[in-house]
Amino acid sequence: MDADILIGPSNKILEVDLSSQEVKILTVTEKDRKMYLGGKGLGLKLIFDRLKEGTDPLSPENIIAFMPGVMMATGAPCSGRFAAVTKSPLTGIMVCASCGGLFGFQLKTAGWDGILVKGKALEPTYIEITKDGVSFKDAKNVWGIDAISSQSKIVDKKSGAAVVIGPAGENIVPFANIVSGERFLGRGGMGAVMGSKNLKAIVAKGGVYKILPKKMDSFDRAKKLAVKYINSNPMTGESYRNYGTPSNVNPSDKEWILPVNNFATGTHNKAFEISGIAMKEKHNTKHHACRSCSILCGKKGTFDGKSLPVPEFETIGLLGSNIGIFDTNQIAEWNKICADMGMDTISAGGVIAWVMEATEKGLISTNLKFGSPEGVSEALYDIGNAKDFGKEMGRGTRWLAKKYGGSEFAMEVKGLELAAYDPRGAFGQGLAYAVANRGGCHLSAYMVAVEVYFNLIDRFAVEAKPEFTKFFESLNCCINSLQICQFTAFPYTLEVPMSKLTPKPLLGFLMQNIPAIAVNLIDFALYRDFWSSVTGIWMSTNEFLRAGDRIHVLERYMNTREGISRKDDTLPDRLLKEGRACDPDKLTVPLDKMLDAYYKVRGYDSNGIPTQKLLKDLEIIN
């Protein structure tokens, strides 16, 4: 049977209460659509309107939103992603994540622009979504089954897709993740939120609607240009396409920002062994991409005779070099354990590195030590099963350091373990980590790209970092609200004529020395064009970026209501006071010099709180 046609967003959101099994249908107004775009932004707004400050993240009152965004199922390049938003049990503040699994496509083509879930089921449950609404199913037969294989037991991949949790989510591990296919809503413990609700999975059965843009001619022009830019950009058209995100290993090692032995140093003579080139040569990697992807960064390979996903750069960094391991087969095995258990590889790796150093320093007694794989697999299983010391490890490095000491080498911000870039070699990335809304996140403002990978601004300068951190935070909020892959930011801003035709030394000079002007010259109109062509709502580029400002500041405001302020916008002592072992100059991140300027350009007060004027100007409050 041919699918019906749905032109533009359906603007219909399901609101599900697991406690009462009541289902409501919400309508997205054009005002909210324009102000918050979709995806992350609309999810935040819907939760802001419903969630009381101070709500326990693991209580029935917490809400988790799954939002595919307006680009889903349109066929736009790299648009096969959906967002999720909730309050994190790991950090106690808001957390947003993006996933390339097929659940978003199925939800969207069933006619729904999102789903909000609150309450708690009496028994293990999963819910099934079709074009007709929601039904509640018994999940006792899949409770306790790993996250990857449990999907096939509740949904036929030919007729639907699911978001599921594994044992870590069921055991309320604070950094448990959510799985869709072999993609993940990785950070902040979203899986624990589902587990606390006795919710094993959400299944969506779509294919009912074919999604068409409201302005097809404009959409086709934008799509043609997008593919051209993606293919032309050296990062997306070459490095990531050929080698996946592990291609970040070599430049990170070369510039001494690869985390090694719990960020003690930034380079290692075995780093090439875990690089994208080495992965391709040793493991015969093939494309394993998200739906509608034109970059093709996802890979699969053969590891010890098994076909497995190639670990992403963050996993390689945190469960590889950061614990002194350079065996790709071993890292792939640990990546698979985390996938099955349903837990974040970044937090898992950060915790294990802390435990190794705490053991080395005599704060605790374990068999884990840098450079040895002994005991790591068992530790990962113990974390996922909340067993023995694994239950404490699952609480995260901030919690462990509070109990046992060692906060100076607990590599976390706001309770979220740091990603795989040492900011002592990229000061803007240090600022971005410190002020990121969800904690130690590299994706809030990916400053390391312009500082190191594209070498456009001086990575050891403090100037220009506040302005560009703000810009990329807001732009990424737009991208994550469309929802499109963040890697498109490389081609969509650097391959446009203004950037492409400007000599690199001149471009770098402008960015470094007159950042306020340089930011205003950045052409990101392709995102706006995609959004307007799908929704039929015209926005100027200034209005579009202002929506990104609004989304970012709303999230910050929600966090400050939970107590977040300047005291939390900081970095581990190791990064502020201790130079890398490989660095003769022993540079540390000069955070305070950047923080005041960042607050000023953001419109926050000196304590990092959004001012009432800013909140009113952005129409977040009346």
> What is the C-alpha to C-alpha distance for residues 280 and 245, in angstroms, rounded to an integer?
12
Averaged over 92-104, what is the pLDDT? 97
pLDDT score at 479? 97
Q: Write the DSSP assignment of 14-37 as a string of letters.
A: EEEETTTTEEEEEE--HHHHHHH-
Q: Which among 201, 231, 217 has a CA at the least distance from the CA of 124?
A: 201
Residue with tokens 């374990």: 366
The DSSP H or E segment spanning 313 is: helix 313-318
Let me know: does 334 contact 319? Beta carbons within 8 Å: yes
Name the class of domain 4-212.
alpha beta
**What's the pTM?**
0.97
Answer yes or no: is pLDDT of 3 > 90.
no
Residue 469, helix vs strand vs coil: helix
What is the pLDDT of the chain when averaged over all its residues?
Answer: 97
Residue 164, helix vs strand vs coil: strand
DSSP secondary-structure letter at 343? B
> What is the C-alpha to C-alpha distance for residues 364 and 352, in angstroms, rounded to an integer?
12
What is the number of alpha carbons within 13 Å of residue 611 lying toward its C-beta? 11
Answer yes or no: is pLDDT of 112 > 70.
yes
Residue 556, helix vs strand vs coil: helix
The DSSP H or E segment spanning 512 is: helix 504-513
For 516-527, write each residue's pLDDT tens digit: 999 999 999 999
CATH number for 423-617: choose from 1.10.599.10, 3.90.50.10, 3.30.360.10, 1.10.3720.10. Answer: 1.10.599.10
pLDDT-derived band at 514, boundaries 50, 70, 90:
very high
Q: Checking DSSP bridges between strand 12-17 and strand 114-118, what pairing results, if any?
A: parallel
pLDDT-derived band at 150, boundaries 50, 70, 90:
very high
Name the class of domain 245-405.
mainly alpha
> What is the C-alpha to C-alpha distance for residues 457 and 455, in angstroms, rounded to an integer?
6
pLDDT score at 158? 87
Burial of 158 (0-12, 13-18, 19+ CB in 10 A): exposed
DSSP secondary-structure letter at 337? H
Residue with tokens 């509608």: 292
Domain-by-domain residue ranges, the chain? 4-212, 245-405, 423-617
* 539 contact partners, CB below 8 Å, separation of at least 6: 34, 528, 531, 532, 547
Report phi then psi at 367, rounded to 5: -95, 10
Averaged over 293-309, what is the pLDDT? 95
Answer yes or no: is pLDDT of 341 > 60.
yes
For 547-598, write each residue's pLDDT tens digit: 999 999 999 999 999 999 999 999 999 999 999 999 999 999 999 999 999 9
pLDDT-derived band at 157, boundaries 50, 70, 90:
confident
pLDDT score at 153? 95
> What is the C-alpha to C-alpha distance for residues 363 and 356, in angstroms, rounded to an integer?
10
Sign of CA dihedral 612, 616, 618, 622: positive
